[in-house]
Homo-oligomer: A and B are copies of this chain.
């Protein structure tokens, strides 16, 4: 048992912070630790701080909570930094981008525009705390984890919950998810089910049976009941046919431009109303849900007689962040799905690219399994193109070369002409700045066309 300093960057992402607080409260080995909430919003910081204090009271946990607007200060002496902050993946900003892109002929913001602000933010954070463990929760996990590793050499582990997609898959084909042996390596949001067993029996034939005999009825039923989970959607099954392995979690949500060209196409591949949060209306529902949840939290933080434990329970979440800290600090060993520099874990990719692989975590560190090579088809059609796109993003980030942003947009299959790409790029660069952007280098300052343009 060893007291730690855990700093949460972007702690105003309250849904996320709440889960972390609960998990830390419920982890004995972290008793006595200090949790530092950092955000740029004083109001939201106050809510999470009050909520955390009350929650720790409810759960009888011995923790010290701090809050600060000072990023640099919050990172001093941090043992762990959970970076959940986002600038460009903010729901409202993304909605504005989608609406602007729609005017230029792009459905659901699939513009190909390379990431800038969130990468800058991640790098700025990592540069301040070279001795901490960074647990990266904000997107893009793949590019960000790779970038932080390359640029700072900090210990970094990107996390996502997409791999839990195997749960829904198992349940749907009639198997208890807690009894399966599975593996799904790849890149973040691009992972593929290489192993899937129950009592030593390969479950792939069972998936094939389900597709042949049950899928149609399932899609009809789920469609009528509000929506088909992406994990079991026609798109997911089609990707299994195309690429030879089941895509897991967030993977079937992308998987090829041809599933996403417009709403009708989305409905064809994901069922009505077009697949969870990946349509304009679906996303609006998610935003409304988050806002509703925030109101509840404010209540639990501030109203007399409303206790967090009543609203949010007293069992751990399924998130991996705190159990990984517990493993590293207290040798409380566990298996996790992590995004870490490859170093040979996934054959066919360079050492310094972040791969998503299973890892055992204990006092010795985060130790990835060296998995078997993915099939050539998956590598050539899914993994390498995504890797290459990420490398272009990082090179654009480094070089500050505007023409690489333009190239990214031209690579979007939704781009129909050169002029359309130029116009979209200019429109995106001219969008009003949001508040968090003031805290990092401005995109328009960083990027310019090459001299000979």
Contacts of A242 in B (CB 8 A): 403, 406-407
Interface check A404, CB cutoff 8 A? yes
| Interface hit among A128-136, A224-232, A378-386 | A378-386
Given contacts A265-B417, A388-B380, contact A403 B241 (CB under 8 A): yes
Q: Which B residues lie within 8 Å of A258 (CB)?
A: 410, 415, 417-418, 421
Measured between alpha carbons, how far is A240 from B451 in the docked complex, in Å? 12
Instruction: Tell which of B208, B388, B413, B450 touches A241, judged by Cβ atoms closer than 8 Å.
Output: B450
Stretch at the interface among A103-111, A275-283, A321-329, A391-399: A391-399
- Tell me the complex Cα distance, A418–B258, Å: 6
Q: Is A401 an interface residue (CB 8 A)?
A: yes
Contact B391 A388 (CB under 8 A): no
Contact B377 A208 (CB under 8 A): no
CA distance A224 to B244 in the complex (A): 54
Instruction: Tell me if A295 is interfacial: C-beta within 8 Å of chain B.
Output: no
Shortest Cβ distance from A449 into B: residue: B241
CA distance A401 to B376 in the complex (A): 12
Contacts of A421 in B (CB 8 A): 258
Assembly CA distance A401 to B241 (angstroms): 11
* Shortest Cβ gap from A107 to chain B (Å): 13
* Distance A261 CA – B407 CA, assembled complex (angstroms): 16
- Bound CA span A393–B103, Å: 37
Among residues of B, the one whose C-beta sits closest to the C-beta of A412 is: B413
Nearest residue in B to A259 (C-beta to C-beta)? B418
> Which one of B244, B391, B406, B453 contacts A380 once the chains associate, using CB atoms below 8 Å?
B391
* Residues A384 and B388 in contact, CB atoms below 8 Å apart: yes
Q: Judge if A373 is at the interface, Cβ distance under 8 Å.
A: no
In the complex, chain B residues whose CB is within 8 Å of the CB of A388: 380, 384-385, 388
Q: With the chains together, A261 CA to B401 CA distance in Å?
A: 26
* B407 A395 Cβ-Cβ under 8 A: no
Select from chain B the residue with minimum beta-carbon distance to A256.
B410
Across-interface contacts of A244 in B (CB, < 8 A): 450, 452
Chain B minimum-CB-distance residue to A242? B403
Candidates B240, B380, B401, B453; contact of A377 at CB < 8 Å? B401
Say which residue of B377, B406, B418 sits within 8 Å of A399 (CB atoms): B377
Which of A240, A241, A381 has the most B CB atoms < 10 Å from its CB? A381
* A242-B403, A376-B395 known, 6 other contacts, Cβ within 8 Å: A240-B452, A241-B450, A244-B452, A376-B399, A380-B391, A388-B388
Report, nearest first, the 6 A-B pairs whose CB atoms are least far apart: A258-B418, A380-B392, A376-B395, A241-B453, A384-B388, A381-B407
For this complex, 13 residue pairs linking A to B, each with C-beta atoms less than 8 Å apart, are A241-B403, A241-B453, A242-B403, A242-B406, A244-B450, A256-B410, A257-B410, A258-B421, A261-B416, A261-B417, A380-B392, A388-B388, A413-B413
